[in-house]
């Protein structure tokens, strides 16, 4: 009988053992003014361990995760999602600025056998987004079992044109997810009501344990996503510099060289590393090696890290129309925001279209990751101080705890809907499913 023992940190002394799984690109069909995509979510199997089939969820029959959906700024897309599970689900486009009817939150359920269509204009700049189920009370399990994928927005920004951008060659999606397996190599799902959420002992990277990827010498772009249930990663690079070029909502104004970087659940961060004649390693402080990046003997693709990447339309304090406060706290046997647990029938906040708002995020107990649908925000302060350079870009998720009161600024000037709300919640998925979520509507004045 197979016995899977708890994983240990992976030493960089030995070569990595498995090729990195790279999700395929999903091709769209150009239908005049709209690019259409076909997707499905269903059950399948994936081999985390050689010869062991583990039941999973995935999109488009991939066994784990889903294809990478590439969309372009200023286009219109239509995405059909068919539910091939035997239970209801949803698909949320995390980080996308789109109408509430296309957001894919818990109100937009897809019945078994049904197809839901999300159609929207792509109005935001280049960014690494992702998609995943967002069913009330079951988001953590559906994501944990493998249902998630990348959505990459590309644009014609000339300042960033020299960055690595050949998908699967020098531009890679990298999702970090810790998992727990039983002795037979099967997924052991549970959620935890403690302040940190459930921490698991095996790191998977795009569903691969102890992976390597082969690349040309020169610059390589890694689109990092923390798709874990609760774990926060502290990543660094052994053998190269770590240059952060983009956050959740797109490019930073200028690249930032870091020794290490924190990435919390739901966060994305695009980094560029340089590969020479020898392998380099992406490292996490708990798991040690995350990914070995090996040169394949091919020459560089003649890329570069520009001195300037974008111009950000910053939000001045004088723009603020409304201020709100949100405290993340234990409520009864679960978790809540402002002493309320999630209620699908209750709208917690009503925002006037066109307003700019300042939100103060505080924590009564535990650590949390604030995420808001539809908009991207700028961090005004962290514990009373301006954010460091690497946190000055557009964000839709931010880590908060007792030592990190965070104040953010956001504009609500793109979409309204008097009937369908957007969500704000903790992206530690244990906490979200235990009630730490609220709802807001954006309405025209007088609605």
133 lies in the same domain as 78? yes
214 lies in the same domain as 129? no
Q: What mean pLDDT comes out for the span 335-355? A: 97
Nearest-angstrom CA–CA distance, 336 and 344: 14
Structure confidence by residue, pLDDT tens digits, 83-111: 999 999 999 999 999 999 999 999 999 99
In a domain, 346, yes or no: yes
Most distant CA pair in the chain, distance:
67
In a domain, 2, yes or no: no
In a domain, 282, yes or no: yes
**Percent above pLDDT 90 for the chain:** 92
Whether pLDDT at 3 is above 70: no
Would you state the pLDDT for residue 195?
Answer: 85
129 lies in the same domain as 187? no
128 lies in the same domain as 202? no
Number of folded domains that form the chain: 3
Structure confidence by residue, pLDDT tens digits, 224-257: 999 999 999 999 999 999 999 999 999 999 999 9
The enclosing domain of 435 has a CATH number of 2.60.40.420
In a domain, 9, yes or no: no
Q: What mean pLDDT comes out for the span 403-428? A: 96
Whether pLDDT at 1 is above 70: no
Q: Give the residue from 295, 327, 358 where a domain finishes.
A: 295
Whether pLDDT at 146 is above 70: yes
Q: Give the residue from 265, 295, 325 where a domain finishes.
A: 295
Would you state the pLDDT for residue 2?
Answer: 59
134 lies in the same domain as 50? yes
Would you state the pLDDT for residue 193?
Answer: 86
Whether pLDDT at 5 is above 70: no
Would you state the pLDDT for residue 446?
Answer: 60
Nearest-angstrom CA–CA distance, 192 and 205: 22
Structure confidence by residue, pLDDT tens digits, 49-80: 999 999 999 999 999 999 999 999 999 999 99
134 lies in the same domain as 239? no
Whether pLDDT at 321 is above 90: yes
215 lies in the same domain as 264? yes
More confident residue, 350 or 196: 350
In a domain, 4, yes or no: no
176 lies in the same domain as 285? yes
- Which of 228, 183, 145 has the alpha carbon at shortest distance from 7? 183
Structure confidence by residue, pLDDT tens digits, 7-30: 678 888 899 999 999 999 998 999
326 lies in the same domain as 350? yes
Would you state the pLDDT for residue 12?
Answer: 85
67 lies in the same domain as 149? yes
Would you state the pLDDT for residue 111?
Answer: 98
Whether pLDDT at 402 is above 90: no
Whether pLDDT at 447 is above 60: no
The overall pTM is greater than 0.85: yes
In a domain, 3, yes or no: no
Residue 427 domain boundaries: 317-443
Structure confidence by residue, pLDDT tens digits, 260-314: 999 999 999 999 999 999 999 999 999 999 999 999 999 888 999 999 999 999 9
CB 77 within 8 A of CB 71: yes
25 lies in the same domain as 151? yes
In a domain, 309, yes or no: no
φ/ψ of 319, rounded to 5, equals -75, -20
Would you state the pLDDT for residue 336?
Answer: 96
In a domain, 161, yes or no: no
CB 117 within 8 A of CB 79: yes
Whether pLDDT at 379 is above 70: yes
- The mean of the pLDDT values for the chain is 95
178 lies in the same domain as 151? no
Q: Give the residue from 240, 260, 295 where a domain finishes.
A: 295
CB 366 within 8 A of CB 401: yes
């Amino acid at each position: 009988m197979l016995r899977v023992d708890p994983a240990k940190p992976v030493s960089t002394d030995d070569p990595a053992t498995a090729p990195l799984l790279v999700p395929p690109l999903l091709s769209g069909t150009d239908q005049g003014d709209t690019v259409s995509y076909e997707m499905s979510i269903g059950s399948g199997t994936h081999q985390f361990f050689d010869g062991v089939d583990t039941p999973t969820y995935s999109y488009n029959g991939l066994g784990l995760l889903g294809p990478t959906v590439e969309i372009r700024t200023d286009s219109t897309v239509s995405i059909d999602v068919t539910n091939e599970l035997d239970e209801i689900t949803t698909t949320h486009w995390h980080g996308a600025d789109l109408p509430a009817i296309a957001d894919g939150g818990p109100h937009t359920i897809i019945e078994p056998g049904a197809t839901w269509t999300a159609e929207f204009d792509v109005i935001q700049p280049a960014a690494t987004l992702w998609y995943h189920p967002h069913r009330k009370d079951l988001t953590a399990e559906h994501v944990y079992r493998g249902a998630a994928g990348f959505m990459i927005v590309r644009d014609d920004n000339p300042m960033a044109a020299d960055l690595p951008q050949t998908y699967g060659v020098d531009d890679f999606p990298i999702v970090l997810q810790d998992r727990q397996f039983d002795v037979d190599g099967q997924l052991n799902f549970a959620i935890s009501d403690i302040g940190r959420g459930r921490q698991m002992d095996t790191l998977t990277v795009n569903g691969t344990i102890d992976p390597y990827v082969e690349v040309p010498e020169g610059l390589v772009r890694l689109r990092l996503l923390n798709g874990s249930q609760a774990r926060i990663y502290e990543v660094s690079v052994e053998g190269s510099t770590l240059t952060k070029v983009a956050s959740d909502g797109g490019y930073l104004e200028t690249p930032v060289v870091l020794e290490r970087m924190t990435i919390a659940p739901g966060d994305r961060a695009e980094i560029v590393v340089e590969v020479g004649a020898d392998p380099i390693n992406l490292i996490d402080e708990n798991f040690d090696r995350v990914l070995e990046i090996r040169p394949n003997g091919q020459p560089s693709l003649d890329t570069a890290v520009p001195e300037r990447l974008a111009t950000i339309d910053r939000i001045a304090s004088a723009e603020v129309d409304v201020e709100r406060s949100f405290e993340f706290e234990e409520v009864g046997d679960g978790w809540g925001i402002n002493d309320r647990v999630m209620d699908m029938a209750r709208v917690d906040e009503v925002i006037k279209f066109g307003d700019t708002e300042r939100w103060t995020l505080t924590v009564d107990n535990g650590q949390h990751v604030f995420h808001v649908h539809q908009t991207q925000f700028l961090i005004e302060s962290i514990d009373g101080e301006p954010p460091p350079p690497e946190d000055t870009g557009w964000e839709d998720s931010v880590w908060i705890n007792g030592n990190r009161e965070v104040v953010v600024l956001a504009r609500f000037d793109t979409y309204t809907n008097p009937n369908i709300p957007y969500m704000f919640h903790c992206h530690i998925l244990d906490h979200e499913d235990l009630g730490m979520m609220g709802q807001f509507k954006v309405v025209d004045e007088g609605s």
